[in-house]
Structure 1
Amino acid sequence: MARFRGGTITREEMQREALRLPPTLREQFESTVGQREFLLSMVDKRLMVEEARRRGIAQRPEIARQVRELEERLIVQALLAEEERAAGRASEAELRAWYDSHKADFAQPERVRLGRVLAAVPAGGTAAERTRARARAEEFARRLRTEPLAKVQALGDGPERAKNGELGLFARGELKDRRLEDAAFALLKPGQISPVVETAEGYAVLQLIERKEARTPSFEEVRSDVEGRLGPVRQRKVFDALRSQLRSAADVQVEVSARP
């Protein structure tokens, strides 16, 4: 793909180097012009390496130390990867045992999916403005008893208007306003409407879209999550076992003198 005095760059080398680039940057080098620029950048790097070697920079103690440290890291990573492959994947019994001992981590609290129609009050609003906002909210509540949320929310002021009135799914403690939370969790059946609630933003009416009771998902539901969480635990076990084996075989002894 490229030649220069003292070396060449093959297609395989170019492709390997390109794979190291982020996908968005890699796209820039797909055209003929882009490939030419990429190959020139690779040639430039080779030329600079050769120039550094000619000047003896590669033999400097600090460079040699960094090369040695990088080599050690790569070798250790390869060793641990080999040990992990030899250990194999977690068995079904191991996955289930880990799930059973960590069930509390998967527990889902009671949650409610809410719709809201808000009659906002400007910051520092007057008593008259608050009265008008409350009257609007009372009208929203009345209309919600006979009309769909998607229609009534168009008259409100909150950001939920962009989502057909849906405010979101919340567990206790996730709604910023305690008054809104109390009103939300008092709703028991989908479609039920709350009384008008005074909030920091103004006056709101809530509608319960869905209620999700507290539950713990079964192992089958979260199996892939369990496998993902157990992975680092097993990696640590592999590391600890290998370290213990090597220390024992090497008869390691460490002596630390107390400072005078």
Structure 2
Amino acid sequence: MERGVLAACCLVGVAAALGCRGREEDRPGEPIVATVGTATITAAQYKARLDEQAPFIRARYTTLERKQEFLNGLIQFEVLAQEAQRRGLDKDPEVQEALRKLIVQRMIRQVTEELKPPSETEVRQYYDEHRSEFVRPEQVRLNHVFLASAQGDARRAQVKAEALALVARARAQQAELRQRGFEELARERSDDATSKQMGGDLGPRTAEELTQAWGAALAQAAFALQAPNELGPLVETEKGFHLVMLRLRQAGLHHSLESVKERIGSRLLAERRTQALEALVKQLRERVPIHIEESVLDGVQPAAATAP
């Protein structure tokens, strides 16, 4: 039973590899393992097919008896291939189309394998030009309600009292309803025209961005918040008073060049392959006359979808 399963695995694996056909005169000097009709299986071909198997399968073929089992799979494939050819199946349109697809795939692989991998300089340049993908400071996303009252404003104490009352109002809301209520409060009362209609949403900001826009006190209060919908204390700045609520925190990124070197190299190589294929196709299309019958194309209708 085990031998039958192994032989079947070998047969499938060899079929996928397109067999080992060849003639003795085509490979002078190569040791021949078996002759099958007009074809031969050389020791190098046998080893190549064996090496294609998974390691745990290869480990089974160490004795002569097991090696003969694997060879039997190659022979089975070869006699089937010769019979299929005798029946003219190699000229079957479906087979010919499959062959065309295979040789196109092989040509594409040949073209891409000739490409040189990106150099250390190219990898470093990509890292420097796309640093934000790999190094980014921590960010917070806030909603705020801003009550404007500059330093020296005669109404500043009154505005502060109003702001404290709004903080108490926001804290009185249940946690699951707090975000909606806070957004409504921002639309109703905030003096920040930019974020007011968005419910006070400031979007993701770093500490540096918040400091530049509203001052260090707001940035410090924002980054002290930990949980979504958490309300901070009333923040007083030179511009006025801020009620702040955390929507989310986004951890920073700190990927060194060494840690992402392989990823960048793979990305650059993939881009290089795409560009090489696009250039090849463009060159070939310019070389080959192409005419499209749009009326015929328009008349082609796909098969109707069947009900599941």
Alignment TM-score, normalising by the size of structure 2: 0.43
Work out the CA distance in 1 between the residues paired with 2:68 and 2:92: 34
Aligned with residue 229 of structure 1, among 242, 247, 267: 267
Query: What secondary structure, in the 3-state scheme, does the structure 2 residue paired with 1:28 have?
Result: coil
The aligned amino acid for 1:103 is: R
Q: Deviations over 1:110-167 (max 9, x none)?
A: 7xxxxxxxxxxxxxxxxxxxxxxxxxxxxxxxxxxxxxxxxxxxxxxxxxxxxxxxxx
When residues 59 and 17 of structure 1 are mapped into structure 2, their CA distance, relative to the original with a 3 A threshold, is same
The structure with higher relative contact order (CA 8 Å, sep 6+) is 1
The offset of 1:249, in angstroms, is: 4.2
The offset of 1:109, in angstroms, is: 7.7
The aligned amino acid for 2:109 is: Q
When residues 216 and 50 of structure 1 are mapped into structure 2, their CA distance, relative to the original with a 3 A threshold, is same
Aligned with residue 77 of structure 2, among 45, 49, 52: 45
Aligned with residue 99 of structure 1, among 112, 123, 127: 127
Q: Deviations over 1:165-193 (max 9, x none)?
A: xxxxxxxxxxxxxxxx96xxxxxxxxxxx
Query: What secondary structure, in the 3-state scheme, does the structure 1 residue paired with 2:47 have?
Result: helix
The offset of 1:23, in angstroms, is: 1.6
When residues 5 and 250 of structure 1 are mapped into structure 2, their CA distance, relative to the original with a 3 A threshold, is closer
The offset of 1:19, in angstroms, is: 1.8
Larger radius of gyration: 2
Work out the CA distance in 2 between the residues paired with 1:41 and 1:107: 54
Query: What secondary structure, in the 3-state scheme, does the structure 1 residue paired with 2:40 have?
Result: strand
The offset of 1:22, in angstroms, is: 1.7
Match of 1:245 in 2: 283
- How many residue pairs end up in the alignment? 156
When residues 106 and 255 of structure 1 are mapped into structure 2, their CA distance, relative to the original with a 3 A threshold, is farther
Match of 2:48 in 1: 16
Match of 2:153 in 1: none
The answer to whether the Cα contact below 8 Å between 2:134 and 2:254 also exists between their aligned partners in 1 is: yes
Are residue 55 (structure 1) and residue 93 (structure 2) matched? Answer: no
- What's the % identity of the aligned pairs? 27
The offset of 1:251, in angstroms, is: 6.2
Match of 2:96 in 1: 64
Are residue 33 (structure 1) and residue 65 (structure 2) matched? Answer: yes
Work out the CA distance in 2 between the residues paired with 1:239 and 1:6: 39
Alignment TM-score, normalising by the size of structure 1: 0.50
* Superposed counterparts of 1:93-172, under 5 Å: 93-107=121-135
When residues 251 and 59 of structure 1 are mapped into structure 2, their CA distance, relative to the original with a 3 A threshold, is closer
The answer to whether the Cα contact below 8 Å between 1:58 and 1:64 also exists between their aligned partners in 2 is: yes
Structure 2 gaps of 5+ residues are 1-32, 139-225, 228-250, 300-308
